[in-house]
Structure 1
Amino acid sequence: MSEYVRRFGAQAIPVQTGHEAVAAFGTQHPELVLLDVVLPDIDGYAVAGRLRELENPGEWTPIIFLSAMGRDEDIEEGIAAGGDNYLSKPVSAIVLSTKIRAMQRLIQMHTSLLVLTRRLDTANRELQRLSSTDGLTGIANR
């Protein structure tokens, strides 16, 4: 997987366990997480839940589960745990690159939305200030 990620021009942060994944997420702040369900210490579903808890309000990091477990129930549990997509192993390079590109577009849209929201908040605060103060005298309006 790390080699696939490098081919897409991204930097991989490979870890072996769920606890390492949580620690790396907290220090590295990756743009995208590829997460197996079966890990040596805790399952990927629990890791996804912890990653979501570490996100600050307004932040979103896409999580794509990769697993040999491909039953409908497994996919449902992965999405419910905080995953954004679920791929069954073995994953082809084409499918993985497609999903990564799709998540990159979603990241860009999310970032744009946050910027617009901040601008709107600023404009609303200014509008509130202008509506509560007389523009000529600077005295509070009723």
Structure 2
Amino acid sequence: MSRWKWLTFSALSAALVCSAPKVSTAQVVVNIGPAPVCPYGYFDYAPYNCAPYGYYGPDWFSGGIFIGAGPWFHGPHGFYGHVDNRWDPHHGYAGPLPGRGEAAFGGFRGNEARDGRGNIGNAGHDPGGERHPGFSGGGRGGPGGRR
């Protein structure tokens, strides 16, 4: 290779290296806002629609207050609580769901345990006989119709 070709090649190579885009660290900020205000909690997946009375078992409530799900979950580490997934639209439920801030309705029969972050696991106890203290249901019945 001639001296001029070599110098031209070197100059072009140096220009390419110097003009390469600078790598920068991306900073992503996600503001999820406040938890949804729902009478008996909200599903643990986006768009975090209100869950009907009967989806969450009593272990999801502390002093009558929902312990949260999804990004707002504030239950204990290793927590798995019972849900009745017959009320879940991901399992085919197409009935009414309360709107945010609306009054409650329902009935509970646990058939799955979840951790508040969308994972299914073992609650470490049987859901049989769990009842929401102070709630008698009323209003609309469970999946499949009215009482």
What is the TM-score with the length of structure 1 in the denominator?
0.22
Q: Which protein shows a greater Rg?
A: 2
Higher helix proportion: 1
